[in-house]
């Protein structure tokens, strides 16, 4: 039977397995390069202004500082509490919301270390080095630390939860509580993570091999770690969920935004996105699209949970009345998701980097798109060749769940960003041993068939929704 362990070939060169991570100069090189890439633009082009969701988080955080607690935005959205409270604490401690960007830099460097640990767990030190360098040198990941968006922290907690599961599986079951706490914080910072726990529970009970004996043994031994994981999840999320459900008009986990997102993605106006070249570039254009819509938003002078439920019900009705239109938008949303550019491209084109020569701007945009394109393509090849075990359950489950969510709601490159580190590890495996990956695809024909069915649509979606038809140049 097929071995379902995480590692594909964990044999390392002599002496490699016994070496300690803090003596690896390649790791320290990645951390140093990552630090420069994150701090340099923060110092040279410190952007004090906010953009869209950043402004929403900051305004809500300002109300927290003023003693009003967590309230809805002017649009009636009630976001997850993580980033508003963090911004409020940064303001109260350091006197400015912008201090969160320094915190982001530190957290991102820790995530680089987590990537190294994950790579080492999955396939050895060589893969660990590739994973750390890929994460450290990713231009969009680096730039997002200079913003007030959620992605840097969400990625950190997601990687922490995955690493904790893999680490705790080899130890006393109670350590799995740490994994539950980490994923709980991911949910507190981004409500979309609410439905990720099943993939982590599957990873916890994942059998060593797909035969009856191993499956039964895995289930028998996995129930205690699974309980530990759930306990960690509940003690992190339940207190806020109970409090918010009583305050905001009905049951909610950490946010009340799903209905509003459904309103934006399933309405009579065209599907929205906010990336340069394929989105609503100015607020007047955005407002004009909203005015075109024949379905007015639900009243905002009601509790946020009731408003969310109202918007969800109306969106479902619209989908039932317009099934063809709904289905026709799915490829478009996925193309918006897989667009290899990012908000960094948008900010470069908007002139947020004054003094940067034209040639360097074009080189940066090429770097942005090329990096994400290589991760999506190479990571997909690596995943089909190497995906197995507990890590595959969490990584592939998270990716597929997110893609399904985007297909229903609306697409944006920012939603892809937390998925790229998960795919970087498979890309690192491909770079480290391309021949072994090819042999794995050849040895198991279903893997090769899956790749051949997956890669062409991915390439089409990457190339489709761009103004020039070629994603590397805007």
Spatial CA neighbour of 401 closest among 422, 375, 377, 430: 422
Which residues touch 84 (CB under 8 Å, ≥6 apart)?
57, 60, 61, 64, 70
Nearest Cα neighbor of 250 from 470, 9, 21, 78 is 78
The backbone torsions φ and ψ at residue 46, rounded to the nearest 5 degrees and listed phi first, read: -65, 115
| Mean pLDDT value of segment 381-398 | 94
pLDDT (average), residues 230-234: 97
Residue 402's pLDDT band, with cuts at 50, 70 and 90, is very high
Instruction: Supply the pLDDT for residue 13.
Output: 44
Residue 10: the pLDDT is: 43
Which pair of tokens denotes residue 321? 């009345």
Distance CA 437, CA 439 (A): 5
Tell me the average pLDDT of the chain: 87
Measured between alpha carbons, how far is residue 232 from residues 107, 161, 176, 225, 235 in Å? 21, 11, 8, 11, 5
Distances (CA, A) of 444 to 8, 381, 382: 13, 14, 14
Cβ neighbourhood burial of 438 (10 Å; 0-12, 13-18, 19+)? middle
Q: How many CB atoms lie within 10 A of CB 146?
A: 25
pLDDT exceeds 60 at position 342: yes
Which of 140, 128, 124 is CA-nearest to residue 372?
A: 140
How do the domains of the chain map onto residue ranges? 26-149, 322-474
| Residue 170 buriedness (CB in 10 A; 0-12 / 13-18 / 19+) | exposed
pLDDT grade, residue 219 (50/70/90)?
Answer: low
Between 163-167, 218-222, 334-338, the lowest mean confidence (pLDDT) is in 218-222
**Token reading at 272:** 């929205």
Task: Give the distance, in angstroms, between the CA of residue 211 and the centroid of all CA atoms in the same chain.
Answer: 33
- Give pLDDT, residue 468: 43
Confidence at residue 224, expressed as pLDDT on a 0 to 100 scale? 85
Q: What is the pLDDT of residue 453?
A: 95
Residue 409 pLDDT: 87
pLDDT tens digits for 14-58?
A: 345 447 888 889 999 999 999 999 999 999 987 667 887 888 899
Return the percentage of the chain with pLDDT > 70, whole number.
86
In sequence order, the 6+-apart residues with CB closer than 8 A to the CB of 203 are 165, 389, 390, 391, 393, 394
Cα separation, 160 vs 173, in Å, equals: 17
- Tokens 């969701």 locate to 53
Phi, psi of 149 (to 5 degrees): -75, 170
Claim: this prediction has a pTM higher than 0.75:
yes
What's the average model confidence in pLDDT over 351-360?
A: 90
Is 128 a residue whose pLDDT tops 90? yes
421-453 residue pLDDT tens: 999 999 999 999 999 999 999 999 999 999 999
Specify which residues 78 forms β-bridges with: 256
- b/e sequence 261-270, b meaning 16+ C-beta within 10 Å: bbbbbbbebe
Distance set, CA 392 to CA 5, 45, 120, 421 (Å): 10, 39, 15, 13
């Amino acid at each position: 039977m097929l071995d379902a362990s995480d590692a594909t070939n964990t044999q390392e060169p002599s002496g490699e397995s016994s070496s300690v991570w803090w003596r690896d100069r390649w790791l320290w090189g990645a951390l140093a390069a990552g630090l420069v890439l994150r701090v340099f633009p923060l110092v040279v082009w410190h952007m004090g202004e906010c953009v869209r969701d950043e402004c929403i988080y900051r305004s809500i955080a300002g109300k927290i500082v003023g003693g009003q607690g967590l309230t809805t935005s002017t649009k009636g959205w009630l976001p997850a509490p993580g980033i508003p409270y963090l911004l409020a604490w940064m303001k109260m401690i350091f006197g400015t919301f912008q201090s969160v960007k320094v915190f982001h830099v530190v957290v991102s460097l820790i995530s680089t270390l987590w990537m190294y640990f994950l790579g080492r767990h999955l396939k050895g030190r060589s893969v660990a080095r590739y994973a750390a360098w890929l994460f450290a040198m990713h231009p969009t990941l680096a730039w997002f630390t200079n913003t007030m968006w959620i992605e840097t922290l969400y990625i950190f907690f997601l990687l922490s939860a995955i690493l904790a599961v893999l680490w705790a599986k080899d130890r006393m079951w109670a350590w799995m509580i740490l994994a539950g706490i980490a994923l709980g914080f991911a949910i507190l910072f981004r409500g979309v993570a609410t439905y990720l726990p099943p993939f982590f529970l599957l990873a916890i009970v994942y059998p060593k091999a797909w035969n009856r004996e191993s499956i039964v043994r895995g289930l028998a031994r996995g129930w205690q770690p699974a309980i530990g994981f759930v306990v960690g999840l509940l003690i992190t999320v339940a207190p806020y969920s109970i409090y918010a459900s009583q305050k905001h008009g009905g049951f909610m986990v950490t946010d009340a935004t799903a209905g509003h997102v459904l309103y934006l993605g399933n309405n009579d106006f065209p599907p929205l996105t906010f990336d340069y070249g394929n989105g609503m570039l100015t607020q007047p254009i955005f407002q004009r699209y909203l005015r075109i819509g024949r379905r007015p938003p639900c009243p905002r002078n009601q509790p946020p949970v009731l408003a969310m439920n109202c918007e969800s019900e109306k969106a479902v009705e619209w989908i039932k009345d317009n099934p063809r239109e709904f289905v026709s938008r799915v490829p478009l949303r996925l193309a918006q998701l897989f667009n290899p550019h990012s908000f960094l491209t948008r900010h470069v084109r908007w002139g947020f980097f004054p003094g940067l020569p034209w040639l360097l701007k074009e080189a940066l945009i090429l770097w942005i798109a090329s990096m994400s394109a290589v991760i999506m393509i190479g990571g997909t090849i690596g995943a089909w060749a190497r995906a197995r075990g507990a890590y595959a359950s969490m990584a592939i489950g998270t990716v597929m769940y997110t893609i399904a969510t985007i297909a229903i709601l609306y697409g944006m490159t920012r939603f892809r960003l937390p998925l790229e580190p998960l795919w970087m590890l498979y890309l690192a495996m491909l770079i480290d041993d391309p021949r072994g990956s090819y042999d794995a695809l050849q040895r198991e024909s279903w893997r090769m068939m899956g790749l051949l069915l997956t890669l062409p649509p991915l390439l089409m979606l990457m190339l489709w929704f761009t103004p020039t038809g070629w994603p590397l140049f805007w």
